[in-house]
Structure formats: C-alpha cells, structure tokens
C-alpha cells in the first residue's frame, strides 16, 4: 500500500496530539500554528486509509507525493560507480 507525504491541518494542539496517540500517524514535527491563531499544521506520512479516516475526523489533509515511488526514482538517480575508487585512480595518475 503506498504511503504519502502529507500536510495535516488540525484545529488545536490536542487534535495534533491525537494524530499520534489515537490515529498512530507518523508525524514529522510537533506542529506549527498558522498566523492569527489559525489551525496547527504538521507534516506526516500516511496511507490512503489513514488519509480518509483523518478527513472523516475533521482534519484537512493535503497530499504531496507517494514517498515509495519518489524514493525508487531517487535511487535510480544514484550512480552505481564507486566514486572512491575513481578518486584513487585519479590520484595515482598524477
């Protein structure tokens, strides 16, 4: 099941705490409050079912990316060449 990087808006600190205690959401931070006593906002990881549950509980959820897909893409960008071996070869040639 895919997991997504999301931003959650909660009405207060207690609702943010419930994300962890009650809903078992993997939250990245302790939240930040929007200007003028607005909602508390946290970044987190969640799957589809968790996002739907949060929305039914009154949280606003903004989905950013599938972290598994993004991670796979980033892994393909990493060189398979041993850069340390290449550096040693260059030092020997000087």
Alpha carbon distance 42, 6 (integer Å)? 8
CATH classification for the domain delimited by 3-93, as one of 3.30.70, 1.10.238, 3.40.630, 1.10.3470:
3.30.70
Residue 67 has pLDDT above 90, yes or no: no
Query: What is the reported pLDDT for 49?
Result: 95
What residues contact residue 60 under an 8 Å CB cut-off, 6+ apart? 8, 9, 39
Domain chopping of the chain, boundaries: 3-93
Q: What percent of the chain has pLDDT over 90?
A: 44
37: pLDDT confidence band, cut at 50, 70 and 90?
confident
């Amino acid at each position: 099941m895919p997991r997504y990087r999301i931003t959650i808006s909660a009405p207060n600190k207690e609702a943010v705490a419930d994300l962890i205690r009650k809903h078992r959401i993997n939250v990245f931070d302790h939240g930040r409050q929007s200007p003028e006593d607005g909602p508390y906002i946290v970044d987190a990881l969640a799957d589809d079912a968790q996002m739907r549950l949060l929305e039914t509980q009154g949280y606003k959820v903004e989905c950013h990316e599938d972290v598994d897909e993004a991670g796979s893409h980033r892994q393909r960008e990493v060189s398979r060449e041993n850069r340390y071996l290449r550096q040693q070869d260059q030092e020997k040639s000087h």
